[in-house]
Structures are given as structure tokens and as C-alpha cells.
Chains A and B, each alone.
Chain A
């Protein structure tokens, strides 16, 4: 295969433009999700084989602009400049055309070959917008292809275009801004042209006028006189307009985008109130919005738990038979016991975690694809601000209810490191499905559902308090919420399945190896006969302070691997799942409280370690261990009075 048969394209666009749907359509399951070097930002790559071509597709982070506001934006623009992809596919939400065009103009400034995917054409049509793609194509001198990515329509047209335009001069038109700015550019760009910079001269000139830190520093190293000249020009520009020069340029783009939008959009008037607006009056209303939210989330958890219980029970009966088969055929020698504990760990993952995580993700992504999740961010923003983060953090909390691992990973949607870290700390306190197994399987089953729900309420209050405290300690300017609330749309099964699969894959890759290794390790300790020594070592805490049976010391060690193991191992130790035989009501609640907060599980710790360094990960663990022991002891003493 020659190189000409290989093409690389990148997808770029603002948030909520349907970029993920395009990416999933192109790459299917041939995706690789990793991190950008040295960054905690997700890098999604994939390959498409089409008409004898191998097309590498890279999904750039969803961003609002190409300035250096956030890490994502820097990554996006540096990638486009340095890797020179054959094509940048700019995915555009046509129902928010004007704002999306501002981004397109920034992309065109980079002078890279661009194809516009005019996406969500069904939605804009519903809004009464008729968009003249051909006219836009002429205006920008670059291909514009109407698409509905969620249905896959128009997408092969993009690839056909990419292939068809191989070897053709494909530079889009350089869009001109106002006279004053063009004058500045004209004075600055000759000095920047062919001087060994990797960036286009015109783009650099614009960045210098915008006072972009990175570019100013770069030019200043070799041509301080250009910076001086830019300073003079910028000052006079600011004098004329009365705004910061970066706002002047943003204003030019915004103005041009609005001018283009006016030329290519025809609005058909007399549209009746859309379904979306009617839904929104209900779902983001200042009163009914909260009622709907509680109903939706409550319904979601009820579904997850009833489905999870059913599937988990089904797996249990099957795996029991497998163990008997193993014992009969392999035996119970030392090696066989270690071998089984490796298998058992994986089975425990399948039996206890998967039945809850699977329906949880399906429902979560259904809500997301429908467009509801951002409504929650909107409704909860105020409360989240009291914890030093903004409304989007709520999304991580909700994901954390399924599993803390993707919950922590999703903190990447927060804009600054400080907010990412605060959100991650709080996510580790969110009761994940494994903890829920304990809360419902122990407290809910033996004491009453109200007590179980009470524990959830308790967790919420605790998270809120922890948020207030950590935002005090981690100083920094809180970032304000700026978010697009996408219109509601019919959830697409294919998108939901892809996203669920992605989440499960990540969960399995992270959790499975840890669970296997630790399961074998603990079994080895057990076989060596060290367990009694460990439980008596921990008994001052478990027995004296918490009033729990000595065996719980070992269980809590197991629990670091996966929290539901606390319950699983207790059942194994008892030889029955009737916990009322060994634990009274106070002990059940105390054990549940310890399990909820005492430490993030190993998989979560490893994510914290990877994203925030071992020092921070260790600090979180130590604080949470001490705190949970203290808290549970107080709870126990309180319960002694109640019961």
C-alpha cells in the first residue's frame, strides 16, 4: 500500500455539535482512546477503511474557540498546525449556525484545508431555518456538506469529498475582517513570513494583536521589534474601539459570522412553539424543573436496582455451578485455590458490578443523548457553586453513582485543574454502585429501605460539606458556568450503545487486572494463615471503636479492591447470605457508613494517581480513612441511643 492511499483527517467543532456521532460513524469500534501526552485530556483516534483508502481519524477535544483559554484549545490548534492533517472536518451545529461560524472563522485563520459538515440539518429545519450550503461553499471557497450525523446521513459524502480532492489545491478563502484590523495585519505579517515559524504569518499577526501569550512569547524571542510594533498598533486599535484588542478581533469574527449567517439562512416564519420549548418550560422551570429532575433520577435508580438485582441473582446461580465444576475437576490444591481466586475475582466483577453498571450507563447515555444532562447542570449550578465548582460537576457526580472510576475520569470536563481536583475528591465520596450493593443489600434489606435512603441523604450532606471545605483549602478563582443547552432530540440507539461500550471497556480494562492481582494476593495471605493476625491487629479500630465483629478488619482490606467484596466476603465467611445472624442493626449501619467513605477503591485510587499525582492520591486516601473511622464511630454511638 502506498502512502497516497492513506489520509488523515481531524474532527473539530464546538461542544454539542454532534462531533462524537460523526467520529463513531467513521470509526465504529476501531477506536483507540488515550490521553494527550502529559495531559489529562482524552485523545480519541480511530481508523476508517473506505474504497481502498486507510483514513486515520482524530477527534479533537470539543472547544468553543481556538484561543489559549484552556488546555484543550491549545492542544487543538497546536495539533492542526504541527501535524498538518490532510483535512480538518469542521462539524457545525446548523441550528446554532452563527455561533458555530465564529469557530469556523478561527479555523480558517489557521489556513488548513477545511471541510464543513453542516450537521443537525434536521434540527435546524425544524426550527424553520433553511440553510443555503452551496452559497456558503462559494463564500468560503471550501466544501460544505449537509449532514445528520445521528442518522449517519451525509457522512460518507464527506469521505468521498476528502478522497476526491486528493492532490487538488484545497486552500479555503482567507476571510477578511474590518479595515483597521486588516491594516494591522498588513503591517505585521511581512516580518513574520518565512521566518522559520511553523504558523501562517497572517494568523500570527492576528494573535499578536489579540495579545495571545504563547505567540507573543515566541516572537519576542527572536523579533522583539515586531512585538513593539504590534504594541503600538494594538494601542491605537483599542483607542478607536474602546475595548481590549482581543475583544475587537472577536467582535470582528462575530460580526462576519453574523453577516454570513444572514446571507445563507432563510427563516420561515410562523413556526408554532416547538416541542423543545414546551419541554423546556417544564424541565428547566424554576420549580417544576426540580420536581422533574428528582422524578427522572429517582426512576433511573429504581430501574438500575431492580434490573441489577435480577441480573446479579441470575449470574450468581450460574457461577455457583462453575465453582463446583472447578472443585470437581481441578481440585482444591494450593495452586487450584489461587487459580480459582483469580477467576472468582473476575466473576465477582461480572456478577456484582456489571448488572448495575450496564443499565446505569445505558440510562445515563440515553439521558445525555436526549439532551437532559445539561439541564441538570443548569438546575444544580447554584448549589455546586457553594462547593467551589460549577454546574457541570454534577455530571461527574451522576456518573460517579455508577462507578467512581469514570466519574473521576469525567472531571476532565471541568475547565481548570483546581476544579477538576475538587470535583474528583467529591466524586470519591459519591456512593458508587458497589457501595450501593452494601447499602441496599445490608441496610435496605435487613433494616428498611428508608434507612438506606437516609444513608444516601447523609452522603449528599457530607459531599456538600466536603465541597465547602475543600474549596476553602484549594484557593483559586472559581470558573463561571458557560454552557450550551442543546435542544432535546430523539436518543439514537447506536450512539447509546457505542458510549456504553466505551465506558464498559474502560471500566473493564482498569478494574479487571487490579481485581485479579489483588484477589490472588489476598488469597495467598489467607492460605498462609496470616488473616487472624491481621484482624486482631485491626481490632482496636474495628471492635473497640466501631463495635463491629473482628472479621470486618479483613473485609475492609478486601473492600479496598472493590467495595462490594466487603459483603461478598462476609457471605463467603459465613457460608450464608443471612447477615442478620452476625450483625445487629447498629453494626449494619456502621459497617455501611465505613464502607461508603473509608477509602476510594483501588481502581479509583489509580485514576487519581494518574491524573493528579501520587501525593494527592495518597492524601485523599489517608484523610478519608481517618475521617470515615471517626465518623462511623460517632454514628455508632448515636445509634446506640436510637436502637
Chain B
């Protein structure tokens, strides 16, 4: 199977579905900030909930939960597990 097809934005992940962070598109400061929270390439991440009208998402990664704004979440590219 082509791995490229398995790469989607974190926003596209269904609730409860798991993925591995491949890369973070966009500015250095955003990816740096995520990295300081442990969201680095290779980390397993899952979406556990979202707000109404495609608002922010709740994610779980390395044993802790975070809320990420929609714009930021859509810049995180994950590979489906």
C-alpha cells in the first residue's frame, strides 16, 4: 500500500483513531511549541473529541491530553496506524 495515501491531517482523523506524527507543516515557532509539549515526529497521537463547528480538537499523546486549535491541528500530518 502506498504510505502517502495513509498520510492525512490530524483534523481528518476520526475520534478514537490513532496516528503517528510524520511532520508539522508551517512555521518554526509552531512546531517548536508542539515539540516542547512532546508532539514531535514519531509520536503516537489520537483525537478524543472536538468542539462544535469544526472547532479545536482534544488529542491524547504520550499519556497526556491537550487541546489544539483547528488551524494548528490541520498542520499536523499523521500516518494512520
Chain A residues packing against B (C-beta within 8 Å): 64-65, 67, 69, 95-99, 102-103, 106, 243-244, 246-247, 250-251, 254-255, 257-258, 261, 280, 284-287, 289-290, 374, 377-379, 381-382, 385, 390-391, 478, 480-485
Q: Which residues of A contact B51 (CB under 8 A)?
A: 284, 286, 289, 378-379, 381-382
Q: Which residues of A contact B64 (CB under 8 A)?
A: 95-96, 98-99, 484
Within 8 A of A (CB), among B25-67: 28-38, 40-43, 49-56, 58, 62-67
In whole angstroms, how far apart are the Cα atoms of A82 and B49 in the complex? 43
Q: Which residue of B lies closest to A64 (CB)?
A: B36
Q: Which residues of B contact A379 (CB under 8 A)?
A: 51-52, 55
Q: Which residue of B lies closest to A477 (CB)?
A: B27
Which of these, B23, B53, B63, contacts A261 with CB under 8 Å? B63
Q: Which residue of A lies closest to B24 (CB)?
A: A247
Whether A481 pairs with B63 at a CB distance below 8 angstroms is no
Q: Which residues of A contact B53 (CB under 8 A)?
A: 382
Given contacts A247-B32, A254-B35, contact A284 B69 (CB under 8 A): no
Instruction: A97-B63, A106-B36 given; name 15 further pairs at CB < 8 Å.
Output: A69-B29, A69-B32, A98-B62, A98-B63, A247-B35, A247-B40, A286-B52, A289-B52, A374-B67, A379-B51, A381-B69, A391-B69, A480-B69, A480-B72, A484-B66
Whether A482 pairs with B72 at a CB distance below 8 angstroms is yes
Whether A250 pairs with B35 at a CB distance below 8 angstroms is yes
Going nearest first, the 4 A-B pairs with the smallest beta carbon separation are A250-B35, A382-B55, A65-B36, A480-B69
Q: Which residues of A contact B50 (CB under 8 A)?
A: 286
Closest Cβ of chain B: how far from A216's Cβ, in Å?
Answer: 14
Q: Which residue of B lies closest to A487 (CB)?
A: B65
Which of these, B32, B36, B42, B65, contacts A485 with CB under 8 Å? B65
B7 CB–A CB distance under 8 Å: no
Q: Which residue of B lies closest to A69 (CB)?
A: B33
Chain B residues packing against A (C-beta within 8 Å): 23, 28-38, 40-43, 49-56, 58, 62-72
Closest Cβ of chain B: how far from A259's Cβ, in Å?
Answer: 11
In whole angstroms, how far apart are the Cα atoms of A177 and B67 in the complex? 29
Q: Which residue of B lies closest to A102 (CB)?
A: B38
Q: Which residues of A contact B35 (CB under 8 A)?
A: 246-247, 250-251, 254
In whole angstroms, how far apart are the Cα atoms of A367 and B27 in the complex? 35
Whether A67 pairs with B32 at a CB distance below 8 angstroms is yes
Q: Which residue of B lies closest to A478 (CB)?
A: B71
Whether A482 pairs with B63 at a CB distance below 8 angstroms is no
Q: Which residues of B contact A96 (CB under 8 A)?
A: 63-65
Whether A480 pairs with B66 at a CB distance below 8 angstroms is no
Q: Which residues of A contact B23 (CB under 8 A)?
A: 243
Q: Which residues of A contact B69 (CB under 8 A)?
A: 381, 385, 390-391, 480-482
Closest Cβ of chain A: how far from B23's Cβ, in Å?
Answer: 8
Q: Which residues of A contact B43 (CB under 8 A)?
A: 254
Given contacts A69-B32, A69-B33, A482-B66, contact A254 B38 (CB under 8 A): yes
Q: Which residues of B contact A254 (CB under 8 A)?
A: 35, 38, 40, 43, 62
Whether B37 pairs with A102 at a CB distance below 8 angstroms is yes
Q: Which residue of A lies closest to B23 (CB)?
A: A243
Given contacts A64-B33, A99-B37, A254-B38, contact A280 B66 (CB under 8 A): no
Whether A483 pairs with B36 at a CB distance below 8 angstroms is no
Closest Cβ of chain B: how far from A109's Cβ, in Å?
Answer: 13
Whether A480 pairs with B54 at a CB distance below 8 angstroms is no
In whole angstroms, how far apart are the Cα atoms of A478 and B50 in the complex? 20
In whole angstroms, how far apart are the Cα atoms of A257 and B62 in the complex? 10
Whether A382 pairs with B40 at a CB distance below 8 angstroms is no
Whether B55 pairs with A247 at a CB distance below 8 angstroms is no
Q: Which residue of A lies closest to B49 (CB)?
A: A284
In whole angstroms, how far apart are the Cα atoms of A243 and B29 in the complex? 13
Closest Cβ of chain A: how far from B60's Cβ, in Å?
Answer: 11
Whether B68 pairs with A481 at a CB distance below 8 angstroms is yes
Q: Which residue of B lies closest to A96 (CB)?
A: B64
Closest Cβ of chain A: how far from B53's Cβ, in Å?
Answer: 5
Q: Which residues of B contact A289 (CB under 8 A)?
A: 51-52
Given contacts A280-B49, A378-B51, A381-B51, contact A484 B67 (CB under 8 A): yes
Closest Cβ of chain B: how far from A579's Cβ, in Å?
Answer: 41
Whether B29 pairs with A247 at a CB distance below 8 angstroms is no
Whether B62 pairs with A99 at a CB distance below 8 angstroms is yes
Q: Which residues of B contact A250 (CB under 8 A)?
A: 32, 35-36, 40
Q: Which residue of A lies closest to B50 (CB)?
A: A286
Q: Which residues of B contact A480 (CB under 8 A)?
A: 30, 68-72
Closest Cβ of chain B: how far from A127's Cβ, in Å?
Answer: 9
In whole angstroms, how far apart are the Cα atoms of A379 and B29 in the complex? 25
Closest Cβ of chain A: how far from B21's Cβ, in Å?
Answer: 10
Q: Which residues of A contact B41 (CB under 8 A)?
A: 243, 247, 251
Q: Which of B28, B37, B72 has the most CB of A within 10 A?
A: B37
In whole angstroms, how far apart are the Cα atoms of A247 and B66 in the complex? 19
Q: Which residues of B contact A390 (CB under 8 A)?
A: 69
Q: Which residue of A lies closest to B40 (CB)?
A: A251
Whether A382 pairs with B70 at a CB distance below 8 angstroms is yes
In whole angstroms, how far apart are the Cα atoms of A103 and B36 in the complex? 8
Whether A98 pairs with B38 at a CB distance below 8 angstroms is yes
Closest Cβ of chain B: how far from A82's Cβ, in Å?
Answer: 22
